[in-house]
Amino acid sequence: MSVTQRPPLLCFSHLRWDFVWQRPQQLMSRFARERRVYFIEEPVFRAPAGRRRTGRCWRCVKARG
């Protein structure tokens, strides 16, 4: 079976791919030899312009819906 015929593999990881080379990167690199692999990292939140982050909360930020 070729790479395009196998179903893709999704990996939701709490580690950044370029942070350190650990088991998730080792396994996904091996699986990528046989199928497409999508390595999804946790989001990185940055303070909007003119705002600052204090602890775990954004200050002066309102959600718009």
Residue-averaged pLDDT of the chain: 76
In a domain, residue 2? The reply is yes
The range of the structural domain enclosing residue 2 comes to 1-43
How far does CA 54 lie from the centroid of its chain?
24
More confident residue, 38 or 19: 38
In a domain, residue 62? The reply is no
Q: If you average pLDDT over residues 15-30, what whole number do you get?
A: 88
Of 24, 51, 52, 49, whose CA–CA distance to 39 is shortest? 24
* Highest mean predicted confidence (pLDDT) among 17-21, 41-45, 59-63: 17-21
In a domain, residue 30? The reply is yes
Q: What does pTM read for this prediction?
A: 0.59
In a domain, residue 49? The reply is no
The tokens for 43 are: 């989001």
CB atoms within 10 A of CB 9: 15
Number of domains the chain contains = 1
